[in-house]
Structure formats: structure tokens, C-alpha cells
Amino acid sequence: MKVEFKSELKAKKGDLLITGVYEGLKEVEKEEKEKLKALSFNGKVGEVAVLPGSGAFKAFVYVGLGKKGELTQDKVRLAAAKGIKKAEALKAKSVVCELLGEDKLKEFSAKAVAEGLILGAYSFNKYKEEKVSLSKVVVAGKEEYRKSFNLGKVLAEATNFTRDIVNEPGNVITPEKLAQIAKELSKEMGFECKVFDEKKLEKNKMVGILTVGRGSSNPPRFIHIAYKPKGAKKRVVLVGKGVTFDSGGLNVKPEQYMKTMKSDKAGACAVLGIMKALGELKPKVEVHALIPTVENMPDGKAYRPDDIITYKNGVSVEVHSTDAEGRLILADALIYGSELEPDLMVDMATLTGACVVALGHYTSGLFTEDDKLAKELERISKETGEKLWRLPLDEDLEEEIKGTYSTVQNVGKSRYGGAITAALFLRKFVNKDKVRSWAHLDIAGPAFLSKPWKYYCEGATGQPVRTVVELLLG
């Protein structure tokens, strides 16, 4: 689907026009208002109605924006997504979308509309015979809003790029394939890219990656992408968990928890999506993307419960569950990232089911000791609709991960506070003398959905690509 912005659209025409309506229908003409009310449409958030077209359009799609005084970017995003979904259902080929909520949000409406259309039209249909008929969408707005529209378009396309990789199954995306995608993206965007094979992993003492990846016929990899623009004023490290498939290892998962484990690479894929957006937007920030990637499988070489491994920074870890593998590979990346001495390091991972229990399927857990960073991420997430909730790095729970025969163990002694103890585990591998600020995002809930929600269909959402890019843009 091609999405265009036109500031001088002399004659609006197409199969269908998408227009926004506030709750109460005050701005709607009397005749249309009566027709819409007959369809039980009142302009509430999420409502959609279709009226027969006349003149230049075959149909008119009305989308609810809710109460005028309570309009947000996310409500516009949702309205645009609802509109484009209805257009697809009506098998429209060419669509014109008005700048929904422009009177209230100005240029931010252009950004939200672009995101809503592109995110809402997404479907992972690569392996299906039927294809979507919609080919072109034109958004009509003022020229001064073009820059904001283009930003929204870049963010949404980077998100969908992420969704595509996450949605690919484990027989397609292996650690080596993920590394290949990283190389191709780096070549396209002009980034530096290094990939560590087993020999380089051993040379760099990345024992977590080697240990977890040992049980698979698909060998592990570590990926380092570097974006170094001239005049960069700060250095950022992004770390993404890249478990291309997680069987649970010898602590094998039950069937109902294993079948969506292609999504355990969502953090790594989000990092790739963020880098794609940065390559197009070119901000003056030096960014290093680090991806430890493995397949967690059980065989005769697989690591075992009770194994003890010692990391490059001297921290030793008792393995109490081979299904808590993500933190073991992230540890290597956090040690490596600390050596780059960044101003900010952010890791993102589908790390714990405990975070889903705490916050549900639609909110990511945020862990950081930096209050200013936490407030900024929370502010941005409200605008992007990628919900975050700050959870405590409760040091009283340190005892939960204290090892009997080692520094720490890789899961807590009890099932309580699992998201927190996982974050505390990761903190052991962040060198506070070299990293000014660190945040951990547990995206286990919203990274992959079992049913449609807002502007997302079933499957990968691409979170938190848009939030992190907005953070880096400042």
C-alpha cells in the first residue's frame, strides 16, 4: 500500500473518503447526521460507519474521534486505522483520508494519521494466497504538516519492518538469518556491522550466548551495528534479546506456551526497526545496536539446570532454569555495551511472563534508576500509545537471586516479583562506572498479541520502536 501526502489536492476523488467526526456529530450536516444516527453512529472513539458515496467517491467512511476536548494522537491513530480497515473490507483500491483532528492537534494529527493508516493496514500475508486489494492512500493536508506526516510514515514503516521479522517462524529466522538481515540493513543505511561467530564469541568470552546456543543445530551469533554521524553529541547503546525460537531448553515449555515462541526475538527485531528509522531520519546521536541471538533447544549438548557459568565481568551464575535463557544472553551484551561507555543504554526483551501477570498484555514494564529518563519515556509512550509502566528495582528482592554456589542464580527462589528479579539480574552486568543511565524494557506483554487490539492485528506489534526512536530524536 502506497501512502502519499498531498497539500494541493484540487479535486478529491477515489473509491472512498475517510473523514473524522467528533462525538455528538455537531459538525455534521443535518441530512448526514440523521443517516449516521440511524446506523447507531455517534462519533465515539472506535466507531465506524459507511454511507453511500456521491460525486467523486463511491463511499464515505466516518470514523469516531470521541469528545473534541479530549482528542489525543492515539485516538487519531486509532480512527485512521479503523478507517483503513473498513476500506480494505469494502475492497477499495484508492482512498483519500482527511487530516483527522487537524483543528485540535495541528501537525501532530498528520503524524498520527500516517501511523494509524500504515499500522492499521498491516497484515502478515506472505504465506497466504489472498492479497489485499488496497493500493493507494492519499492524505490531504497543509504543506506545513508534511514533515510531521513523513516522520509518522517512517516510524510506522520501521514498526511494520519489525513486525515482519517477528512474525516469521523459527524455520525461517535463525540466528544466522537474523545476522544476515542486520548486514543487509546496515549496507542499505551505511552502518558499520560486525557479526561474531562461535570463534569470536569464545574470544570475547561471551559465555551466556555460547551456553544457551549450545543445544541447537543453528549456531548462535552476536550482532553489533554502529551508526556514527558526524557531530554526534551523545552515545546510546540499544540491546535486544534475539531468541529466534525458545523451546525452554531442557526445562521444556508446555505446548500452549511454546507455539508462539518465534516472538522471543521481538526485542532484537525492535532494535533493527529502530536502526532502520534512524538510518532514514539521521539524528545527531551515535547509536550502537547490540543483538545476542540464539535458538534455545534441548539436545545432548544443551546446558543443564545446576550448571554454573562465569561471565567476563567475574559474575558467576547458577542455572536454575534453562527457560530463563534471555537474561543469560543479554548479560553478555550488557557487559559489551558497558565497554562502549554510553550516555544511555536501553535493553528491550520479551523477558518474563511475570511482567504479563503484573501488567497484562498491553503494557511494557519499565525499570530504571534514572527518574528523569523514566518521566521522559512515560511522556513519550502516552503520545505513541506504546504503554509503559515503571516498576521498582526493589533491592529487598536481591536475596531472591542470590546464588548458593555462585554470585547469583538465573531465576528467583520463589515465583513472586519475577519481572523485578529479572531486572535486578540484568543490572549485575551494567557497569555503573561506564554507563551514565540504563533502562530495561520488559515487552513480554505487548510485543506479540493473540487477538487484535487498537490498530494492531493478531501477532507482532513492533513495540517499542516508535517510543525509542522518539526518545533518540529528543
Provide the annotated active-site residues.
253, 327
126 to 93, 122, 187: CA distances (angstroms)? 20, 11, 24
453 to 21, 181, 252, 447, 448: CA distances (angstroms)? 21, 28, 30, 12, 11
H/E stretch holding 449: strand 448-449
- In this structure, which amino acid lies at residue 214? R
d(CA 439, CA 234): 16
d(CA 419, CA 271): 21
Distance of CA 409 to the CA centre of its chain: 29
437 class by beta-carbon count within 10 Å (0-12 exposed, 13-18 middle, 19+ buried) = middle
Phi and psi (nearest 5°) for 82? Answer: -60, -40
H/E stretch holding 221: strand 221-227
d(CA 248, CA 260): 12
d(CA 73, CA 108): 7
Q: Which of 332, 296, 306, 304 is nearest to 207 (CA)?
A: 332
In a 3-state reduction of DSSP, which class is residue 247? Answer: coil
- Answer whether 227's CB lies under 8 Å from 278's CB: yes
d(CA 142, CA 284): 28
Give the three cell numbers for residue 461.
506489534
Count of CB atoms situated within 10 Å of the CB of 233: 10
H/E stretch holding 371: helix 371-384
d(CA 469, CA 23): 33
d(CA 422, CA 352): 8
DSSP string, 20-80: EEETT-TTS-HHHHHHHHHTT----TT-EEEEE--TTEEEEEEEEEE-GGG--HHHHHHHH
What lies within 8 Å, CB to CB, of 456 at 6+ separation is 119, 122, 449
Phi and psi (nearest 5°) for 290? Answer: -120, 125
In a 3-state reduction of DSSP, which class is residue 366? Answer: strand
